[in-house]
């Protein structure tokens, strides 16, 4: 439940979008850029951070939000997952991380009971629909990340690249 002062804030929610493959040598630097972006967004009023729970960037971002709640308890992780059972084919480590995030998130929404063609794009549109800001790690197109950034631009929301 959000309070009235946050509800009226023009920047209340942000979504994450990025690739499943993270840069090996640059992973630590990317993590620090994402942490800085989350802090910058929080300082601008963002309290809710929406993640699609995908391997790579989404799990990195969701984990950072949860870790940052120790010093910024007002931050909330909201998971928007494309279907129930999502993540069952992830690596063991990513399955554990997604389970941790599902357990700790303030909200978990499943958009469908089953996988179907196009469910990821629907998830990506829902992420953008909830957001006032999009935090993106976009290195190549075509990709779901590029598509999500395009959705954000169509909506007219700011895209913060990390």
Please tell me the pTM assigned to this model.
0.91
With bands split at pLDDT 50, 70 and 90, how would you rate the model's confidence at 8? Answer: very low
Cβ atoms of 120 and 91 closer than 8 Å = no
Q: Which carries the bigger pLDDT value, residue 6 or residue 51?
A: 51
DSSP assignment of the chain: ---HHHHT-S--EEEEEE-SSPPTTTHHHHHHHHHHHHHHHHHTT--EEEE---TTHHHHHHHHHHHHTTT-TT-EEEEEESSTTTTTTS-HHHHHHHHHHHHH-SEEEES-SS--TTHHHHHHHHHHHH-SEEEEE---SSSHHHHHHHHHHHHT-EEEE-
Token digits of residue 48: 């809710």
Alpha carbon distance 140, 135 (integer Å): 16
Residue with tokens 């690249």: 161
pLDDT in tens, 56-69: 999 999 999 999 99
In sequence order, what are the beta bridge partners of 18? 137
Phi first, then psi: what are they for 78, rounded to 5°?
A: -120, 125
CATH 3.40.50.450 fits 15-161, yes or no: yes
Of all residues in the chain, the percent with pLDDT exceeding 70 is: 93
Burial of 104 (0-12, 13-18, 19+ CB in 10 A): middle
The per-residue pLDDT for 118 is 96
């Amino acid at each position: 439940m959000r309070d009235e002062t946050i509800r009226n804030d023009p920047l209340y929610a942000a979504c994450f979008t990025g690739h499943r493959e993270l840069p090996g040598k640059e992973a630590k630097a990317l993590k620090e850029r994402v942490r800085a972006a989350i802090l910058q967004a929080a300082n601008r009023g963002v309290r809710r951070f929406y993640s699609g729970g995908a391997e790579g960037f989404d799990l990195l971002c969701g984990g950072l939000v949860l870790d940052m709640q120790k010093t910024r308890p007002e931050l909330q992780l909201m998971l928007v997952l494309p279907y129930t059972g999502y993540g069952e084919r992830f690596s063991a480590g990513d399955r554990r991380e997604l389970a941790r995030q599902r357990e700790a998130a303030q909200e978990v929404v499943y958009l469908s009971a089953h996988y179907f063609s196009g469910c990821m794009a629907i998830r990506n549109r829902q992420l953008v629909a909830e957001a006032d800001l999009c935090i993106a790690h976009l290195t190549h197109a075509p990709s779901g990340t590029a598509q999500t950034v395009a959705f954000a631009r169509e909506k007219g929301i700011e895209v913060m690249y990390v």
